[in-house]
Structure 1
Amino acid sequence: MSANAPAPLNSEDLACFVCVAGTGSISRAALEQGADQSTVSRQIARLEANLDTRLFHRTGRGMILTESGQTLLGYARQVSATLAEAREAIRASTAQGPAQLIIAAQPTIANTAFASIGTAVKQRFPATRVRFVEGLASPLLGWLAAGEVDVALIYLPDQHGALKVDVLLEEDLTLVTPTSWGHIGPTFRCASLDEVPLILPSTGHGLRVLAENLVARAGKSLKMAMECDASNTVSMRLVEDGCGATLLPFAAVADRVAQGRLRCARLVEPVVTRQVALATARNRPPVPELWDIMQTVRQSVRNTVMSGAWPGARLV
């Protein structure tokens, strides 16, 4: 823009102009806009300077539009109407939520929480297409970082600096055994885990690392029966068939324990607790209405725990 070019018109100045034209008075326009009379006067003066013309005749009866003012009024009203329409369109769009929402979770959490979360999110955002994804911890964190999922429910890792997390609940880890293992009581000491043939994911998986750390405290190592990177359902079936024991939260096995297909013992000395958190990536722009989405998911999880449908879980 050259040094002599007029400054661009300001939408606030135009709105002020429309108000003065409508009220016919600087003082009444100032009152309507909640502004000082001097501020309104400066806005009108700025408009007149930018357009290089008088917009009002100042008379004892108030502010009367000049011919130039009459011409500007029509355009100014169009601008005000367009801006109001834009604000309403944006408000309506954000109220509907995102066009698509991808929610991921680790398998145990997904099995317990996805149904109620899906119902709650669709009630709140009926126009949003919801997609659920299940995955183990390492790939799930990668999906978050890459923006392939919007929100994830995870067992809180030790290092989570790249994540924004909202801890929802905690649950104890249990030793899950075949029903034939009558020598296992309602609790089991972590220091004795080295004596149990375990079915766990391969090295590097969060649950495997946790188990290795528990026995390492006693200077021991795990006694692996087999490695299973398949679903928890497969691991539980292997335990049912007597291939070994595994470690899972009670919610994952509650139905099979009630049916007499499995047994479980709470790990003690120490009690092993894992926290479930709602996570988003720090390096990704948030989806529309993210705060509302997070609150909807949080309340859904809270309702699930309070109803007893997430056995063994405690709200944080």
Structure 2
Amino acid sequence: MNSDDLGLFAQVASSGSISRAAMELGADQSTVSRRIGLLEAELGVRLFHRSGRGVSLTERGQQLLVYANAVTQTLNEAHQGMRDSAEQGPARLCIAAQPTIARILFGSLGHALKARYPLTQVRFIEGLASQVLGRLSDGEVDIAILYLPEHPGALQFDLLLSEEIHLITPIDYPLQGDSVSVRDLGDIPLILPSTHHGLRVMVETLAARYGFSPNIALECDGSISITKRLVLANCGCTVLPSAAVIEEVAAGRLKSFRLENPEIRRNVAMVWPKNRVSPDGLWAVTQIIRQRTAELVSRGDWPDAVLHVAGDSL
């Protein structure tokens, strides 16, 4: 006997007729009759008096109806309780992102999350990839939005978009046109993070693939803001998404060159550890993140970005 059996039994009791109950349930009359017979056989009691006018409860049937109604009420309360909990969202939510992503997304996302989950304590963290991944692994961060590492390893992820990577130079750096070949990066002094950060790994991977040696002018493991200041001070060039320097390029303080032959893109993804129990409401939060990302791309606020379409491969 299970809740479905009790629900069927209660429906027959309410309808006073097996045929009417079958019609109300959208089931075949013979199926309903057979299931009631199986329930009576399992319990070893007669639940209904049957006549040409329909059915009526026996004394044992009336006793079972009390239990059936109690089970139905409990299930309804559980269903409503779970829905209410999902509507309220998690009690606390911590989202981390790398600086460029955080600058573009956090403002819009903050408004959306507070509108959807006014009772949730939302916390945003900005940091370098290694810092964010460490906090994610420690359980401090619920979900991270990152440039997907070359080797995701023990991460599970959901792709959001890809965006172009550009060569960023001082305004007076002697390059012509609006693009530069990837193979020419070996001739350009670069300011990059140390080897355990994503952009450095990306450049070194390109160097190995296309046969050049990176010319590392400076290593900088600080924020993107510090890297941009070093470029502004003519200490070298760097590679960044164009979204990271949109204001400086628009103001004529820095120059941006598209990397080509081939075009270089990085994937942005929502990331969390494998084998981690997700907090309640996390799936709904990811949908809000995806929706806000799509809106930013469609408005042009995330330049050179292409949304990932579900089913596309990396």
TM-score range, shorter chain: 0.7 to 0.9
Return 5+ residue gaps in structure 1 as ranges: 1-8
Q: How far apart are the structure 1 equivalents of 2:6 and 2:161? A: 53
2:184 aligns with one of 159, 167, 192? 192
Partner residue in 2 for 1:21: 13
**Residues 67 and 273 (structure 1), Cα distance of their counterparts in 2 relative to 1, 3 Å cut:** closer
Partner residue in 1 for 2:269: 277
Partner residue in 2 for 1:299: 291
Q: Is 1:178 equivalent to 2:170 in the alignment?
A: yes
Q: Is 1:313 equivalent to 2:313 in the alignment?
A: no
**Per-residue displacement from partner, 1:235-276 (whole Å, max 9, x unpaired)?**
111222222222111110111222233222222333322222
RMSD: 2.7
Map residues 139-218 of structure 1 onto 2, 5 A cutoff: 139-144=131-136, 147-160=139-152, 162-183=154-175, 185-217=177-209
- 24-33 or 246-255, larger mean C-alpha shift: 24-33
Q: Is 1:85 equivalent to 2:80 in the alignment?
A: no
Q: Is 1:103 equivalent to 2:91 in the alignment?
A: no
Partner residue in 2 for 1:30: 22
Aligned-partner SS, 2:171: coil
Deviation at 1:311, TM superposition (A): 2.3
- Asked whether the 8 Å contact 2:13–2:57 carries over to 1, the reply is yes
- Asked whether the 8 Å contact 1:184–1:265 carries over to 2, the reply is no
* 1:57 aligned partner, one-letter code: H
TM-score (norm 2): 0.85
Q: How many residues align?
A: 308
Q: How far apart are the structure 1 equivalents of 2:143 and 2:62? A: 53
Q: Is 1:246 equivalent to 2:238 in the alignment?
A: yes
**Per-residue displacement from partner, 1:211-242 (whole Å, max 9, x unpaired)?**
22334455442222221111101111122222
**Per-residue displacement from partner, 1:132-168 (whole Å, max 9, x unpaired)?**
2223334444554555433332223333364444333
Return 5+ residue gaps in structure 2 as ranges: 309-314
**Residues 62 and 191 (structure 1), Cα distance of their counterparts in 2 relative to 1, 3 Å cut:** closer
Aligned-partner SS, 1:171: strand
**Per-residue displacement from partner, 1:2-29 (whole Å, max 9, x unpaired)?**
xxxxxxx422222222222222222222
- 138-147 or 268-277, larger mean C-alpha shift: 138-147
Aligned-partner SS, 1:247: strand
* 1:108 aligned partner, one-letter code: T
- Asked whether the 8 Å contact 1:171–1:312 carries over to 2, the reply is yes
Partner residue in 2 for 1:137: 129
- 42-51 or 239-248, larger mean C-alpha shift: 42-51
Greater gyration radius = 1
Aligned-partner SS, 1:86: helix
**Per-residue displacement from partner, 1:166-197 (whole Å, max 9, x unpaired)?**
33322222222223435565323333323333
- 112-121 or 243-252, larger mean C-alpha shift: 112-121
Q: How far apart are the structure 1 equivalents of 2:68 and 2:231? A: 75
Q: Is 1:266 equivalent to 2:258 in the alignment?
A: yes
TM-score (norm 1): 0.84
- Asked whether the 8 Å contact 1:162–1:281 carries over to 2, the reply is yes
**Residues 33 and 246 (structure 1), Cα distance of their counterparts in 2 relative to 1, 3 Å cut:** same
**Residues 315 and 38 (structure 1), Cα distance of their counterparts in 2 relative to 1, 3 Å cut:** closer
**Per-residue displacement from partner, 1:95-147 (whole Å, max 9, x unpaired)?**
33333333222222111112112222333333333222223334444554555
Partner residue in 2 for 1:61: 53
**Residues 54 and 214 (structure 1), Cα distance of their counterparts in 2 relative to 1, 3 Å cut:** closer
* 2:228 aligned partner, one-letter code: M
Q: How far apart are the structure 2 equivalents of 1:300 and 1:166? A: 15
**Per-residue displacement from partner, 1:20-78 (whole Å, max 9, x unpaired)?**
22222222222222233333334433444454433322233322222333333233222
* 1:19 aligned partner, one-letter code: Q
Q: How far apart are the structure 1 equivalents of 2:196 and 2:64? A: 70
Q: How far apart are the structure 2 equivalents of 1:185 and 1:10? A: 73
* 2:169 aligned partner, one-letter code: T
* 2:144 aligned partner, one-letter code: A
Aligned-partner SS, 1:35: coil
* 2:113 aligned partner, one-letter code: V
- 100-109 or 180-189, larger mean C-alpha shift: 180-189
